[in-house]
Amino acid sequence: MGQGLSCGASDEHGLFSAVQLGDLETVETLVERDSAILRHTTVYDRHSALHIAAANGQIEILSLLLERSVNPDALNRHKQTPLMLAAMHGKISCVRKLLEVGANVLMFDSLHGRTCLHYAAYYGHADCLQAIVSAAQSSHVAVSWGFARFVNIRDGRGATPLHLASRRSRPECVHILLDNGALVCASTGGYVCPGSTPLHLAARGGSLDCIRGLLAWGADRAQRDGSGRMPYIVALKHKHGACAAMLNPSSAEPLVWPSPLKFISELNEEAKALLEQALTEANKEREKNILKGSGYSLASPSHSDVHSDIGMDDNLSEASDSDLCCICFEQVCTIEVQNCGHQMCAQCTLALCCHNKPNPNTLCLTPPVCPFCRSTIARLVVAKIKSHDDADLDTGDNISSKLRKARKSRNFSEGSSSFKSLSAMNSFGKMGGRGSGRIVAENEWADKP
Protein backbone atom coordinates (compact mmCIF):
# COMPACT_ATOMS: atom_id res chain seq x y z
CA MET A 1 0.00 0.00 0.00
CA GLY A 2 2.85 2.34 0.80
CA GLN A 3 4.39 1.69 -2.61
CA GLY A 4 1.13 2.65 -4.31
CA LEU A 5 0.94 5.95 -2.48
CA SER A 6 4.52 6.72 -3.42
CA CYS A 7 3.86 6.11 -7.09
CA GLY A 8 0.76 8.29 -6.98
CA ALA A 9 2.71 11.15 -5.45
CA SER A 10 5.43 10.71 -8.05
CA ASP A 11 2.95 10.83 -10.93
CA GLU A 12 1.36 13.94 -9.48
CA HIS A 13 4.73 15.70 -9.19
CA GLY A 14 5.62 14.53 -12.67
CA LEU A 15 2.41 15.99 -14.06
CA PHE A 16 2.98 19.44 -12.58
CA SER A 17 6.62 19.47 -13.75
CA ALA A 18 5.62 18.38 -17.25
CA VAL A 19 2.92 21.07 -17.44
CA GLN A 20 5.34 23.78 -16.32
CA LEU A 21 7.97 22.70 -18.86
CA GLY A 22 5.47 22.25 -21.68
CA ASP A 23 6.09 18.50 -22.05
CA LEU A 24 2.86 17.65 -23.85
CA GLU A 25 3.78 14.01 -24.46
CA THR A 26 4.37 13.29 -20.77
CA VAL A 27 1.15 15.04 -19.82
CA GLU A 28 -0.83 12.94 -22.30
CA THR A 29 0.77 9.76 -21.01
CA LEU A 30 0.00 10.53 -17.36
CA VAL A 31 -3.57 11.55 -18.13
CA GLU A 32 -4.18 8.41 -20.18
CA ARG A 33 -2.84 6.30 -17.30
CA ASP A 34 -5.08 7.95 -14.70
CA SER A 35 -7.55 10.69 -15.65
CA ALA A 36 -8.29 11.36 -11.97
CA ILE A 37 -4.84 12.95 -11.66
CA LEU A 38 -6.27 16.11 -13.22
CA ARG A 39 -8.20 16.74 -10.01
CA HIS A 40 -5.01 16.88 -7.95
CA THR A 41 -3.48 20.17 -6.83
CA THR A 42 -0.16 21.29 -5.37
CA VAL A 43 0.16 20.91 -1.62
CA TYR A 44 0.44 24.52 -0.46
CA ASP A 45 -0.93 26.87 -3.16
CA ARG A 46 -3.55 24.37 -4.34
CA HIS A 47 -2.65 25.04 -7.96
CA SER A 48 -4.24 22.71 -10.46
CA ALA A 49 -2.55 21.66 -13.69
CA LEU A 50 -4.70 24.25 -15.46
CA HIS A 51 -3.39 27.02 -13.18
CA ILE A 52 0.20 26.03 -13.92
CA ALA A 53 -0.40 25.83 -17.67
CA ALA A 54 -2.09 29.27 -17.72
CA ALA A 55 0.62 30.94 -15.64
CA ASN A 56 3.39 29.54 -17.84
CA GLY A 57 1.69 30.15 -21.17
CA GLN A 58 1.54 26.47 -22.13
CA ILE A 59 -1.31 26.88 -24.59
CA GLU A 60 -1.20 23.34 -26.03
CA ILE A 61 -1.40 21.72 -22.62
CA LEU A 62 -4.06 24.19 -21.51
CA SER A 63 -6.14 23.32 -24.58
CA LEU A 64 -5.69 19.61 -23.85
CA LEU A 65 -6.85 20.04 -20.27
CA LEU A 66 -9.89 22.06 -21.31
CA GLU A 67 -10.80 19.35 -23.86
CA ARG A 68 -10.75 16.92 -20.94
CA SER A 69 -13.55 18.99 -19.34
CA VAL A 70 -11.34 20.54 -16.68
CA ASN A 71 -13.18 23.38 -14.93
CA PRO A 72 -11.88 26.68 -16.45
CA ASP A 73 -12.80 28.47 -13.21
CA ALA A 74 -10.88 26.20 -10.83
CA LEU A 75 -9.73 27.99 -7.68
CA ASN A 76 -6.36 27.82 -5.94
CA ARG A 77 -5.63 28.61 -2.30
CA HIS A 78 -6.28 32.33 -2.81
CA LYS A 79 -9.36 31.76 -4.96
CA GLN A 80 -7.48 32.80 -8.06
CA THR A 81 -8.65 31.36 -11.36
CA PRO A 82 -6.42 30.26 -14.26
CA LEU A 83 -7.63 33.37 -16.11
CA MET A 84 -6.32 35.61 -13.33
CA LEU A 85 -2.90 33.95 -13.46
CA ALA A 86 -2.76 34.16 -17.25
CA ALA A 87 -3.63 37.87 -17.07
CA MET A 88 -1.08 38.40 -14.28
CA HIS A 89 1.74 36.89 -16.35
CA GLY A 90 0.65 38.35 -19.68
CA LYS A 91 -0.04 35.02 -21.40
CA ILE A 92 -2.37 36.38 -24.06
CA SER A 93 -2.92 33.08 -25.92
CA CYS A 94 -4.07 31.42 -22.69
CA VAL A 95 -6.25 34.40 -21.83
CA ARG A 96 -7.99 34.18 -25.19
CA LYS A 97 -8.47 30.42 -24.94
CA LEU A 98 -9.96 30.64 -21.45
CA LEU A 99 -12.30 33.43 -22.53
CA GLU A 100 -13.29 31.39 -25.57
CA VAL A 101 -14.43 28.47 -23.40
CA GLY A 102 -16.41 30.79 -21.15
CA ALA A 103 -14.16 31.49 -18.17
CA ASN A 104 -15.93 33.77 -15.69
CA VAL A 105 -14.49 37.31 -15.71
CA LEU A 106 -16.47 38.22 -12.59
CA MET A 107 -14.61 35.95 -10.18
CA PHE A 108 -12.91 37.71 -7.23
CA ASP A 109 -9.81 36.45 -5.43
CA SER A 110 -9.50 36.31 -1.65
CA LEU A 111 -6.28 38.37 -1.44
CA HIS A 112 -7.55 41.80 -2.39
CA GLY A 113 -10.93 41.03 -3.94
CA ARG A 114 -9.60 41.56 -7.47
CA THR A 115 -10.77 40.24 -10.82
CA CYS A 116 -8.84 39.27 -13.94
CA LEU A 117 -9.36 42.84 -15.16
CA HIS A 118 -7.55 44.19 -12.09
CA TYR A 119 -4.68 41.78 -12.65
CA ALA A 120 -4.21 42.75 -16.30
CA ALA A 121 -4.30 46.47 -15.44
CA TYR A 122 -1.98 46.17 -12.44
CA TYR A 123 0.70 44.23 -14.30
CA GLY A 124 0.38 46.34 -17.45
CA HIS A 125 -0.57 43.66 -19.98
CA ALA A 126 -2.55 45.81 -22.40
CA ASP A 127 -3.27 42.95 -24.84
CA CYS A 128 -4.77 40.82 -22.06
CA LEU A 129 -6.75 43.80 -20.77
CA GLN A 130 -8.18 44.48 -24.22
CA ALA A 131 -9.11 40.83 -24.69
CA ILE A 132 -10.97 40.73 -21.37
CA VAL A 133 -12.78 44.00 -22.08
CA SER A 134 -13.79 42.82 -25.57
CA ALA A 135 -15.04 39.51 -24.21
CA ALA A 136 -17.10 41.28 -21.54
CA GLN A 137 -18.77 43.44 -24.18
CA SER A 138 -20.08 40.43 -26.07
CA SER A 139 -20.89 38.18 -23.13
CA HIS A 140 -23.64 37.89 -20.54
CA VAL A 141 -21.66 40.30 -18.34
CA ALA A 142 -22.74 43.27 -20.44
CA VAL A 143 -26.38 42.22 -20.05
CA SER A 144 -26.59 40.95 -16.49
CA TRP A 145 -24.01 43.12 -14.76
CA GLY A 146 -23.62 46.04 -17.12
CA PHE A 147 -20.47 46.70 -19.12
CA ALA A 148 -19.77 50.13 -17.60
CA ARG A 149 -20.11 48.64 -14.14
CA PHE A 150 -17.66 45.88 -15.04
CA VAL A 151 -15.02 48.32 -16.35
CA ASN A 152 -15.32 50.28 -13.10
CA ILE A 153 -15.39 47.21 -10.85
CA ARG A 154 -13.74 47.81 -7.45
CA ASP A 155 -11.50 45.50 -5.48
CA GLY A 156 -11.69 44.93 -1.74
CA ARG A 157 -10.04 48.29 -1.03
CA GLY A 158 -12.12 50.38 -3.42
CA ALA A 159 -9.64 50.51 -6.30
CA THR A 160 -10.83 50.23 -9.91
CA PRO A 161 -8.60 48.83 -12.67
CA LEU A 162 -7.95 52.44 -13.72
CA HIS A 163 -6.61 53.23 -10.23
CA LEU A 164 -4.23 50.29 -10.41
CA ALA A 165 -3.03 51.08 -13.94
CA SER A 166 -2.44 54.72 -12.98
CA ARG A 167 -0.55 53.81 -9.81
CA ARG A 168 1.68 51.34 -11.65
CA SER A 169 2.34 53.75 -14.56
CA ARG A 170 0.66 51.71 -17.29
CA PRO A 171 -0.32 54.32 -19.92
CA GLU A 172 -1.54 51.79 -22.51
CA CYS A 173 -3.87 50.20 -19.98
CA VAL A 174 -5.05 53.64 -18.84
CA HIS A 175 -5.94 54.50 -22.43
CA ILE A 176 -7.87 51.24 -22.98
CA LEU A 177 -9.84 51.66 -19.77
CA LEU A 178 -10.70 55.31 -20.45
CA ASP A 179 -11.71 54.41 -23.99
CA ASN A 180 -14.13 51.86 -22.59
CA GLY A 181 -15.79 54.08 -20.01
CA ALA A 182 -13.62 54.02 -16.88
CA LEU A 183 -14.57 56.87 -14.53
CA VAL A 184 -11.65 59.26 -14.57
CA CYS A 185 -12.40 60.95 -11.23
CA ALA A 186 -13.51 57.94 -9.16
CA SER A 187 -12.08 57.90 -5.62
CA THR A 188 -10.58 54.92 -3.85
CA GLY A 189 -11.73 53.51 -0.54
CA GLY A 190 -8.71 52.29 1.41
CA TYR A 191 -6.23 51.78 -1.43
CA VAL A 192 -3.00 53.81 -0.86
CA CYS A 193 -4.41 57.09 0.47
CA PRO A 194 -8.21 56.99 0.89
CA GLY A 195 -10.06 59.22 -1.55
CA SER A 196 -7.32 59.10 -4.19
CA THR A 197 -8.32 59.54 -7.81
CA PRO A 198 -6.41 57.96 -10.72
CA LEU A 199 -4.73 61.36 -11.15
CA HIS A 200 -3.46 61.27 -7.55
CA LEU A 201 -2.04 57.80 -8.13
CA ALA A 202 -0.44 58.74 -11.46
CA ALA A 203 1.16 61.73 -9.73
CA ARG A 204 2.44 59.41 -7.02
CA GLY A 205 3.92 57.05 -9.62
CA GLY A 206 5.43 59.90 -11.65
CA SER A 207 4.03 58.86 -15.04
CA LEU A 208 3.65 61.83 -17.42
CA ASP A 209 1.98 59.62 -20.02
CA CYS A 210 -0.71 58.51 -17.57
CA ILE A 211 -1.22 62.10 -16.43
CA ARG A 212 -1.61 63.26 -20.04
CA GLY A 213 -4.22 60.62 -20.74
CA LEU A 214 -6.19 61.30 -17.56
CA LEU A 215 -6.17 65.08 -18.06
CA ALA A 216 -7.32 64.69 -21.66
CA TRP A 217 -10.33 62.71 -20.43
CA GLY A 218 -11.38 65.34 -17.93
CA ALA A 219 -9.51 64.47 -14.72
CA ASP A 220 -9.93 67.27 -12.17
CA ARG A 221 -6.61 68.72 -11.03
CA ALA A 222 -8.31 70.42 -8.08
CA GLN A 223 -9.95 67.29 -6.65
CA ARG A 224 -8.58 66.41 -3.20
CA ASP A 225 -7.99 63.06 -1.57
CA GLY A 226 -8.99 62.06 1.94
CA SER A 227 -6.02 63.98 3.36
CA GLY A 228 -6.98 67.16 1.51
CA ARG A 229 -4.17 66.93 -1.04
CA MET A 230 -4.43 67.77 -4.73
CA PRO A 231 -2.50 65.66 -7.27
CA TYR A 232 -0.09 68.61 -7.59
CA ILE A 233 0.89 68.27 -3.93
CA VAL A 234 1.26 64.48 -4.26
CA ALA A 235 3.65 64.93 -7.21
CA LEU A 236 5.71 67.47 -5.26
CA LYS A 237 5.88 65.17 -2.24
CA HIS A 238 7.30 62.35 -4.33
CA LYS A 239 9.70 64.71 -6.16
CA HIS A 240 8.19 64.33 -9.63
CA GLY A 241 8.91 67.86 -10.89
CA ALA A 242 7.58 67.52 -14.43
CA CYS A 243 4.37 65.93 -13.18
CA ALA A 244 3.94 68.72 -10.62
CA ALA A 245 4.34 71.31 -13.37
CA MET A 246 1.61 69.62 -15.44
CA LEU A 247 -0.69 69.38 -12.44
CA ASN A 248 -0.17 72.86 -11.06
CA PRO A 249 -3.66 74.43 -10.94
CA SER A 250 -2.09 77.75 -11.93
CA SER A 251 -1.02 76.40 -15.31
CA ALA A 252 -3.29 76.41 -18.34
CA GLU A 253 -5.86 73.66 -18.40
CA PRO A 254 -5.45 70.92 -21.03
CA LEU A 255 -7.83 70.22 -23.86
CA VAL A 256 -10.23 67.42 -22.94
CA TRP A 257 -12.57 65.08 -24.78
CA PRO A 258 -16.22 66.17 -24.65
CA SER A 259 -18.56 63.52 -23.28
CA PRO A 260 -16.30 60.54 -24.16
CA LEU A 261 -18.85 57.76 -24.04
CA LYS A 262 -21.72 59.56 -25.72
CA PHE A 263 -19.94 60.89 -28.79
CA ILE A 264 -16.46 59.46 -29.21
CA SER A 265 -17.69 55.87 -29.15
CA GLU A 266 -20.00 56.65 -32.10
CA LEU A 267 -17.12 57.67 -34.36
CA ASN A 268 -15.35 55.24 -36.65
CA GLU A 269 -11.74 54.47 -35.78
CA GLU A 270 -10.26 56.71 -38.48
CA ALA A 271 -12.18 59.80 -37.41
CA LYS A 272 -11.52 59.11 -33.76
CA ALA A 273 -7.80 58.73 -34.43
CA LEU A 274 -7.74 62.09 -36.22
CA LEU A 275 -9.34 63.89 -33.30
CA GLU A 276 -7.22 62.14 -30.72
CA GLN A 277 -4.03 63.00 -32.59
CA ALA A 278 -5.08 66.63 -32.91
CA LEU A 279 -5.89 66.86 -29.22
CA THR A 280 -2.62 65.18 -28.27
CA GLU A 281 -0.52 67.48 -30.43
CA ALA A 282 -2.30 70.57 -29.14
CA ASN A 283 -1.66 69.45 -25.57
CA LYS A 284 2.00 68.86 -26.39
CA GLU A 285 2.30 72.50 -27.39
CA ARG A 286 0.78 73.43 -24.05
CA GLU A 287 3.23 71.16 -22.25
CA LYS A 288 6.19 72.80 -23.94
CA ASN A 289 5.11 76.12 -22.53
CA ILE A 290 4.49 74.70 -19.08
CA LEU A 291 7.72 72.74 -18.86
CA LYS A 292 9.76 75.54 -20.38
CA GLY A 293 12.86 76.30 -18.37
CA SER A 294 14.88 74.21 -15.97
CA GLY A 295 13.95 72.47 -12.77
CA TYR A 296 10.21 72.58 -13.54
CA SER A 297 9.97 75.43 -11.04
CA LEU A 298 6.51 76.93 -11.01
CA ALA A 299 4.82 79.27 -8.58
CA SER A 300 2.39 77.88 -6.05
CA PRO A 301 -1.28 77.46 -7.05
CA SER A 302 -2.20 80.54 -5.05
CA HIS A 303 -0.12 82.85 -7.23
CA SER A 304 -2.28 85.32 -9.09
CA ASP A 305 -0.13 85.87 -12.17
CA VAL A 306 -0.85 82.82 -14.28
CA HIS A 307 1.16 83.89 -17.32
CA SER A 308 4.47 84.27 -15.55
CA ASP A 309 3.97 80.99 -13.68
CA ILE A 310 3.43 78.80 -16.69
CA GLY A 311 5.99 80.38 -18.99
CA MET A 312 3.59 81.17 -21.81
CA ASP A 313 5.21 81.56 -25.20
CA ASP A 314 5.51 85.18 -26.32
CA ASN A 315 3.91 84.38 -29.65
CA LEU A 316 0.87 82.99 -27.87
CA SER A 317 0.43 85.98 -25.59
CA GLU A 318 0.74 88.32 -28.56
CA ALA A 319 -1.56 86.38 -30.87
CA SER A 320 -3.38 88.66 -33.28
CA ASP A 321 -7.13 89.01 -33.74
CA SER A 322 -6.93 87.06 -37.00
CA ASP A 323 -5.71 84.04 -35.03
CA LEU A 324 -9.05 83.78 -33.25
CA CYS A 325 -11.40 81.02 -34.32
CA CYS A 326 -13.90 82.25 -36.92
CA ILE A 327 -16.62 80.05 -35.44
CA CYS A 328 -16.66 81.06 -31.78
CA PHE A 329 -14.49 84.23 -31.97
CA GLU A 330 -13.23 83.46 -28.48
CA GLN A 331 -10.44 80.89 -28.69
CA VAL A 332 -7.16 81.01 -30.57
CA CYS A 333 -6.99 78.68 -33.57
CA THR A 334 -4.97 75.61 -32.56
CA ILE A 335 -6.11 73.05 -35.15
CA GLU A 336 -5.63 73.20 -38.92
CA VAL A 337 -7.39 71.07 -41.53
CA GLN A 338 -4.72 69.95 -43.94
CA ASN A 339 -5.17 70.27 -47.69
CA CYS A 340 -7.76 73.05 -47.44
CA GLY A 341 -5.78 74.88 -44.72
CA HIS A 342 -8.77 76.18 -42.72
CA GLN A 343 -8.20 76.68 -39.01
CA MET A 344 -10.38 76.38 -35.93
CA CYS A 345 -9.91 76.17 -32.21
CA ALA A 346 -9.82 72.67 -30.75
CA GLN A 347 -13.18 73.23 -29.07
CA CYS A 348 -15.00 73.84 -32.32
CA THR A 349 -13.08 71.13 -34.19
CA LEU A 350 -13.89 68.40 -31.75
CA ALA A 351 -17.42 69.65 -31.07
CA LEU A 352 -18.24 69.53 -34.78
CA CYS A 353 -16.64 66.14 -35.37
CA CYS A 354 -17.86 64.44 -32.22
CA HIS A 355 -21.47 65.36 -32.80
CA ASN A 356 -21.69 63.49 -36.11
CA LYS A 357 -24.38 60.83 -35.73
CA PRO A 358 -24.76 57.56 -37.66
CA ASN A 359 -26.91 57.62 -40.80
CA PRO A 360 -29.83 55.23 -40.09
CA ASN A 361 -30.33 54.59 -43.82
CA THR A 362 -26.78 53.51 -44.62
CA LEU A 363 -25.82 52.27 -41.13
CA CYS A 364 -22.50 54.04 -41.42
CA LEU A 365 -20.96 57.15 -39.96
CA THR A 366 -20.63 60.37 -41.90
CA PRO A 367 -16.95 61.36 -42.02
CA PRO A 368 -16.15 64.74 -40.45
CA VAL A 369 -16.05 67.64 -42.90
CA CYS A 370 -14.56 71.11 -42.80
CA PRO A 371 -17.29 73.61 -41.79
CA PHE A 372 -15.89 76.23 -44.18
CA CYS A 373 -15.48 74.37 -47.49
CA ARG A 374 -17.36 71.10 -46.68
CA SER A 375 -14.42 68.97 -47.83
CA THR A 376 -13.75 65.72 -45.98
CA ILE A 377 -11.20 66.11 -43.19
CA ALA A 378 -8.21 63.99 -44.16
CA ARG A 379 -5.79 65.11 -41.45
CA LEU A 380 -5.73 67.47 -38.51
CA VAL A 381 -2.55 69.15 -37.34
CA VAL A 382 -1.62 71.80 -34.82
CA ALA A 383 -1.99 75.26 -36.40
CA LYS A 384 0.98 77.60 -36.35
CA ILE A 385 0.16 80.82 -34.57
CA LYS A 386 1.00 83.83 -36.68
CA SER A 387 3.52 86.34 -35.51
CA HIS A 388 2.41 89.77 -34.40
CA ASP A 389 3.78 91.41 -37.58
CA ASP A 390 1.93 89.01 -39.87
CA ALA A 391 -1.26 89.58 -37.96
CA ASP A 392 -1.19 93.28 -38.81
CA LEU A 393 -1.53 92.43 -42.50
CA ASP A 394 -4.87 90.64 -42.02
CA THR A 395 -7.88 92.91 -42.54
CA GLY A 396 -11.57 92.74 -43.39
CA ASP A 397 -12.89 91.53 -40.06
CA ASN A 398 -16.08 93.41 -39.21
CA ILE A 399 -16.17 92.37 -35.55
CA SER A 400 -14.87 94.89 -33.11
CA SER A 401 -11.16 94.35 -32.48
CA LYS A 402 -11.44 95.62 -28.94
CA LEU A 403 -14.21 93.18 -28.12
CA ARG A 404 -12.26 90.24 -29.49
CA LYS A 405 -9.11 91.27 -27.67
CA ALA A 406 -11.07 91.50 -24.46
CA ARG A 407 -12.45 88.01 -24.97
CA LYS A 408 -9.00 86.65 -25.77
CA SER A 409 -7.49 88.31 -22.73
CA ARG A 410 -10.24 86.91 -20.55
CA ASN A 411 -9.63 83.37 -21.76
CA PHE A 412 -5.89 83.55 -21.24
CA SER A 413 -6.08 85.20 -17.84
CA GLU A 414 -8.50 82.59 -16.57
CA GLY A 415 -6.16 79.84 -17.73
CA SER A 416 -9.04 78.17 -19.53
CA SER A 417 -8.52 75.58 -22.22
CA SER A 418 -10.35 75.51 -25.52
CA PHE A 419 -12.58 72.91 -24.02
CA LYS A 420 -13.48 74.44 -20.69
CA SER A 421 -17.11 75.03 -21.56
CA LEU A 422 -17.69 71.57 -22.99
CA SER A 423 -15.81 69.76 -20.27
CA ALA A 424 -17.80 71.58 -17.61
CA MET A 425 -21.00 70.13 -19.01
CA ASN A 426 -20.04 66.79 -20.44
CA SER A 427 -16.81 65.34 -19.10
CA PHE A 428 -16.49 62.63 -16.51
CA GLY A 429 -14.91 65.11 -14.13
CA LYS A 430 -17.95 65.29 -11.84
CA MET A 431 -19.17 61.72 -12.18
CA GLY A 432 -16.79 59.93 -9.86
CA GLY A 433 -17.91 59.94 -6.25
CA ARG A 434 -15.83 59.02 -3.28
CA GLY A 435 -15.79 55.30 -2.65
CA SER A 436 -16.70 54.00 0.74
CA GLY A 437 -14.48 51.61 2.59
CA ARG A 438 -12.10 51.10 5.46
CA ILE A 439 -9.74 53.93 6.29
CA VAL A 440 -6.32 52.46 6.83
CA ALA A 441 -2.86 53.87 7.24
CA GLU A 442 -0.81 54.35 4.08
CA ASN A 443 1.94 51.74 3.84
CA GLU A 444 4.16 49.84 1.46
CA TRP A 445 2.01 46.74 1.03
CA ALA A 446 -0.96 48.82 -0.10
CA ASP A 447 0.22 48.45 -3.72
CA LYS A 448 0.87 44.76 -3.72
CA PRO A 449 -1.64 42.44 -5.43
3-state secondary structure 167-193: HCCCHHHHHHHHHCCCCCCCCCCCCCC
Give the pLDDT confidence score for residue 367 in this predicted structure. Answer: 64
H-run or E-run covering 137: helix 126-137
- Work out the burial of residue 121: count CB atoms within 10 Å of its CB; fewer than 13 is exposed, 13-18 middle, 19 or more buried: buried
- Give the Cα separation of 337 and 353 in Å (integer): 12
Strands 358-359 and 364-365: antiparallel
DSSP SS3 for 87: helix
Give the pLDDT confidence score for residue 305 in this predicted structure. Answer: 37
Strand partners, 364: 359
DSSP SS3 for 285: helix
| Residue 243, C-beta contacts closer than 8 angstroms, at least 6 positions apart | 202, 203, 206, 207, 208, 211, 235
DSSP SS3 for 217: coil
By the 8 A CB rule, do 310 and 377 touch?
no
Long-range contacts of the stretch 318-321 (C-beta < 8 A, 24+): 318/388, 319/385, 319/386, 319/391, 319/408, 320/386, 320/388, 320/390, 320/391, 320/392, 320/394, 321/391, 321/394, 321/397, 321/401, 321/404, 321/405, 321/408
DSSP SS3 for 152: coil
Give the pLDDT confidence score for residue 267 in this predicted structure. Answer: 56
Specify the CATH superfamily of domain 12-140.
Ankyrin repeat-containing domain (1.25.40.20)
Give the pLDDT confidence score for residue 338 in this predicted structure. Answer: 76
**DSSP track, 231-274:** HHHHHHHTT-HHHHHHH-TTSPPPP--SSHHHHGGGS-HHHHHH
Give the pLDDT confidence score for residue 124 in this predicted structure. Answer: 98
**256-294+324-355+367-383 under CATH 3.30.40.10, yes or no:** yes
- Give the Cα separation of 23 and 61 in Å (integer): 8
pTM of the full structure: 0.69
Give the pLDDT confidence score for residue 9 in this predicted structure. Answer: 53
- Give the Cα separation of 305 and 415 in Å (integer): 10
Q: How many CA atoms lie within 13 A of 158 on its CB side?
A: 22
Phi-psi region of 124 (alpha: psi -120 to 50; beta: other; left: phi over 0): left
Q: The dihedral of CA 239, 218, 328, 390: what is its sign?
A: positive
Give the pLDDT confidence score for residue 353 in this predicted structure. Answer: 64
Give the pLDDT confidence score for residue 297 in this predicted structure. Answer: 41
Give the pLDDT confidence score for residue 390 in this predicted structure. Answer: 47
Specify the CATH superfamily of domain 154-254.
Ankyrin repeat-containing domain (1.25.40.20)
Which residues in the chain land under pLDDT 50? 1-8, 260-262, 294, 297-319, 356-358, 360, 362-363, 387-446, 448-449
Give the pLDDT confidence score for residue 263 in this predicted structure. Answer: 53
User: In whole angstroms, what separates CA 140 from the centre of its chain?
Assistant: 24
Give the pLDDT confidence score for residue 156 in this predicted structure. Answer: 95
Give the pLDDT confidence score for residue 237 in this predicted structure. Answer: 95
**What are the backbone angles phi and psi of residue 344, rounded to the nearest 5°?**
-145, 165
Give the pLDDT confidence score for residue 3 in this predicted structure. Answer: 36
**In the chain, what are the domain boundaries?**
12-140, 154-254, 256-294+324-355+367-383
Q: Do domains 12-140 and 154-254 have the same CATH topology?
A: yes
DSSP state of 146: I
**What are the backbone angles phi and psi of residue 38, rounded to the nearest 5°?**
-70, -15
- Give the Cα separation of 162 and 289 in Å (integer): 28
Distances (CA, A) of 359 to 266, 270, 364, 366: 11, 17, 6, 7
pLDDT tens track for 122-169: 999 999 999 999 999 988 887 888 999 999 999 999 999 999 999 999
